Structure 1
């Protein structure tokens, strides 16, 4: 089978990181989709739901948001080589994402795609005319405000988008796949910062999500996760990790939307809605991810894009995009 241009230019480490983020987002979304109860606890008692707060909540949403901003910037860069009006193509892409998000809101109120589309149009498009240093400083400032004033949540999106755009402009994605000490150094610093922040968050677990400690810890842990995975991908374990995470990441939009349908369909079968059975969240997430990995590998063996990704790309370019892999 021939290799498409998209495949030749893909940064595989980003696909794996996107796959990891998708795994975490699913674990975060299951309790909200199934309206699980969250018992009030005074202080740190070690319950499963509190481990979710320390290891999952606010850890993967920043990564997912950062990668969306980075992906939009890469798309704009590549679109500029194909058309004189790349921002028009990006605008269509964002509008299409907004439509998908609005439809997804019917199943999952509070989901991220609609805010992504709005922030993309309001923040990313204008920022695409700015020097990269201004975009970087804007991303740092917006992220700081989101953490220390708004306590994270959806308010992280503008800052993460700008930081992702700046990362693309400074060539950060390419460095993830190159041997070197930079990624290891960043990982070491992130781990060193994450430990005291997580301990601090554990001591005030009852206010997680309503203070500045939890989003700050979330960002630092997110950096540790991303750089840690980037390092692992360079080890003998890399091929096995890539085989699982890359297909998920290449079809992230399809899998993100599909997971909502699967959660809503499967959760009642195991009696999860409205309960406090947080360990079962991991069981359900694992089952869904297994199905999605197998499906994604099967699909990508036959098609160049995931089904929703293909539709999104077709609308973005307002022209048919070949879906099936060509055979020599």
Structure 2
């Protein structure tokens, strides 16, 4: 949702806003963003289709284990880190005013997405938490890592205390987004009533964790790891090895916790999901980064196109899936398990990669990316 332009070589205060030409874009962030979109869709299918992790059996249980091991918590962490990296791109190109305008525009887009399309929007959450980055405009990578570590530790400690004091055995209570027979107007009105409350609760609950990921992404940007991976092979190797060694065991723990229909297990699951997800995210980043450093991205390079159209593809995913599963569309909500929805997500996500590559042969910017740029720059772009 932000630029993939390489770091500026001029002082932060002297950088001026400028549109990013395709030839200026670094390939690795776009590839990672495209992969993140596919992974996020695979996880979001649970909400779109309305199934419960702990109720899955047989092939659906196996698919849920795959989702928890490889996708759950990983790609949303990667997406948030890339969002943070992009925020610091804007701070260098145009300072606080440019970032503030971008966040305001994203808050508008996220609000519309939440109310009119799907309640699982992340854009508005990112926009609100991203305001904290205005205080870190001149922060160097070391300071960003310190701030991110402190923010993440504070979040993790609070959630661990909540999980430790939760009454064991209490069943999860997960209200369904929709019910049979609801009209689109009824669902939209319900979301409109809930928007501010949901936004506030998500920011209060996950705000420090999102800030941590934004800071880590900013550190990757300002250190040049994402933009010049060939200069950072040792760091990428450490990410790959350390991320896999830490992330996979925690992801296995998540797969177990997601079989338990208990409130305390769900809280521990959130903690394990995001910490383990962050660790394995670093592993993914290190592995793909090493391929990029060696010029061996191969077929992964096709994901750069969907990454360049991230906002358009993200909203399109919501439109497609709510139309298929919600009562005003296909009406399959609550009737599909993890296995068929995972297959559907892979089909739709990979189709988006193909369509994005075809689209960029003719146009240089996606439709929603163009609209967002107009909101931010007005008639100057």
1:58 matched to 2:73: yes
2:96 maps to which residue? 87
Q: For residues 90-120 of structure 1, give each alpha carbon's deviation from its aligned partner in whole angstroms, at most 9, with x where no partner exists.
A: 1111100000000111221132100111111
CA contact (8 A) 2:230 2:290 kept: no
CA 1:202 to 1:49, structure 2 compared with 1: closer, same or farther past 3 Å?
A: closer
1:287 maps to which residue? 347
Secondary structure of the residue that 1:303 maps to in structure 2?
coil
* Partner residue of 2:273 out of 214, 221, 224: 214
Give distance in 2, aligned partners of 1:307 and 1:31.
27
CA contact (8 A) 2:56 2:338 kept: no
- TM-score when scaled to structure 2? 0.73
2:365 maps to which residue? 305
Give distance in 2, aligned partners of 1:66 and 1:280.
30
1:82 maps to which residue? none
CA contact (8 A) 1:98 1:118 kept: yes
Deviation at 1:238, TM superposition (A): 1.8
**Which deviates more, 10-19 or 132-141?**
132-141
* Partner residue of 1:180 out of 224, 229, 233: 233
Matches within 5 A, 1:249-288: 249-267=307-325, 272-288=332-348
Give distance in 2, aligned partners of 1:5 and 1:100.
21
1:147 matched to 2:156: yes
CA contact (8 A) 1:101 1:112 kept: yes
1:135 maps to which residue? 144
Give distance in 2, aligned partners of 1:298 and 1:242.
14
CA 1:240 to 1:199, structure 2 compared with 1: closer, same or farther past 3 Å?
A: closer
**Where does the alignment leave 5 or more consecutive residues of structure 2 unmatched?**
1-18, 161-201
1:326 maps to which residue? none
**Count of residue pairs brought into register by the alignment:** 308
CA contact (8 A) 2:33 2:310 kept: yes
CA contact (8 A) 1:70 1:165 kept: yes
Secondary structure of the residue that 1:318 maps to in structure 2?
helix
Give distance in 2, aligned partners of 1:13 and 1:208.
36
Matches within 5 A, 1:35-50: 35-40=50-55, 47-50=62-65
* Partner residue of 2:107 out of 75, 88, 98: 98
1:119 maps to which residue? 129
Give distance in 2, aligned partners of 1:208 and 1:313.
43
1:17 matched to 2:32: yes
**Which deviates more, 173-182 or 99-108?**
173-182
Secondary structure of the residue that 1:316 maps to in structure 2?
helix
- TM-score when scaled to structure 1? 0.84
Give distance in 2, aligned partners of 1:39 and 1:87.
45
Deviation at 1:178, TM superposition (A): 4.4
CA 1:128 to 1:235, structure 2 compared with 1: closer, same or farther past 3 Å?
A: closer
2:176 maps to which residue? none
CA contact (8 A) 2:239 2:286 kept: yes
Give distance in 1, aligned partners of 2:301 and 2:21.
18
CA-based RMSD: 2.7
